[in-house]
Amino acid sequence: MSFTDWPWRHWRARYAEKPALRLGDDTLTWRQLCEKIDGLACGFHQQGVGEGDGVMLLAHNHPRALLAWLALLQCGARILPVNPQLPRPLLDVLLPQMTLRHALVLDGGYDALPALTLSATAGAHAAEWSPDRLASMTLTSGSSGLPKAAVHTCAAHLASARGVLALMPYGPDDDWLLSLPLFHVSGQGILWRWLEAGARLTVREKQPLEQALRGCTHASLVPTQLWRLLNAQCPLALRAVLLGGAAIPVELTLRAREQGVRTFCGYGLTEFASTVCAKEADGEADVGPALPGREVQIVGGEIWLKAKSMAAGYWRDGALLPLVNDEGWFATRDRGELHGGRLTVLGRMDNLFFSGGEGIQPEALERVIATHPQISQVFIVPLDDAEFGQRPVAVVECEPGADVARLPEWVSDKLARFQQPVRWLVLPPELKTGGIKISRQALRQWVNAQLKG
């Protein structure tokens, strides 16, 4: 879709009285949504928010956060969504580099920036629709250091959405649950697909997934969540699920298909506004071909990318730092292979370690261990060893009642001897920061502290 105005205003002109957004149990039409955005944008404008201003949005996913996001966009702001669970010392290091003028704090607390209030004002305010204006700054996972802020335009976000929608049908009568946080690029991907398609979106306060999904036809889930839904045998309106975060068992895709749910999987990065490659799940290890508007090549075993959805750069101290290398490609530091145009991601190049001379790619072991029906998350971490150099340790998050002591026996015929973890530890709650990714660096430090000596 080529927009000449803000997407929600475009859809108001076409479908003014058609349902657009469910906030909790309240449904807004496109006309009603635009009225709310106009009032909030007017309120922000009166508080001094102007085009190009950096605004931190500190919030979990809930209806007020989504409306604030849209209103800030309509003001022409450059939005930095932040996880409220990030520690204050990290924010104190990161935020001065982000050139921010305001903070809208809906959850948690932060007082080092001028505070905005979320209050509607009579009237309307809108910056001119400019798809190439910088619109969002999304923090990378920071798994091997301080997070960076990838900056995207509206045009890049919409290009990302178009690529996914070319594979995954999502029309005006469909409804996608905003099940992932807006401070993560995967959550933003859901938002922009909704705006590109002119479909419906559902945002609810935190509640059990079965309740949150009431009336939703589309969702972004991890395999464990879909397993639970199918096993609960509760009535589902679901027709399509974008899966991520773990290996996807063939049995799961077959069970889903029997219940009328199509499952899709893929590969994406913060720098590319979410999904780059994707396919309908088929049990094979690859993540599918490049979606429209993306290019992939393998150079020296490393995945290189180009796309219309690529970030304009990393933001630092008021300037954009380039993402691409001298050849004009983004070098991902992910190891991969291309076969028949379909990409297989082997793991992070930085994660590879050696044990007794044998190379171990943690992600390869994790894909095997994650097929255990009671494991919801698994990480393989290297432990220094005088004889072997390093040995693999497994850190797992299990379903209630799982017996971790039986896991070594379970993997004994599934992994080579040198690949089998020498220790199994349970993932501690303090390493779960409320985001989507867990820092491998923090995990490694924790494991070494636990097993020292």
Q: What angle do CA 388, 393, 397 make, to 5 degrees?
A: 175
Q: If you compute the radius of gyration of the chain from its CA atoms, what whole number of angstroms results?
A: 22
Query: Phi and psi of 401, rounded to 5°?
Result: 90, -5
* Domains located in the chain, CATH noted: 352-451 (3.30.300.30)
Q: From CA 164, how far away is CA 167, in angstroms rounded?
A: 5
Tokens of 220: 């972004």
Q: From CA 82, how far away is CA 150, in angstroms rounded?
A: 13
pLDDT at position 367 is: 86
Q: From CA 49, how far away is CA 106, in angstroms rounded?
A: 17
pLDDT at position 41 is: 98
* Amino acid symbol at 10: H
Contact criterion met (CB below 8 Å) for 283 and 252: no
Greatest Cα pair distance, the chain, in angstroms, is 72
pLDDT at position 4 is: 97
With tokens 């508007």, the residue in question is 293
pLDDT at position 453 is: 54
pLDDT at position 87 is: 84
Q: What is the pTM of this model?
A: 0.88
pLDDT at position 284 is: 87
pLDDT tens, residue by residue, 190-227: 999 999 999 999 999 888 899 999 999 999 998 878 88
Q: Which residues of the chain have pLDDT under 70?
A: 142-145, 245-247, 433-437, 453
Contact criterion met (CB below 8 Å) for 180 and 172: no
The SS3 call for residue 119 is coil
The SS3 call for residue 435 is coil
Q: Which long-range contacts (CB under 8 A, 24 or more apart) does 261-266 make?
A: 261/226, 261/236, 263/226, 264/167, 264/168, 264/240, 266/164, 266/242, 266/291
pLDDT at position 78 is: 98
Count CB neighbours of 387 within 10 A: 7
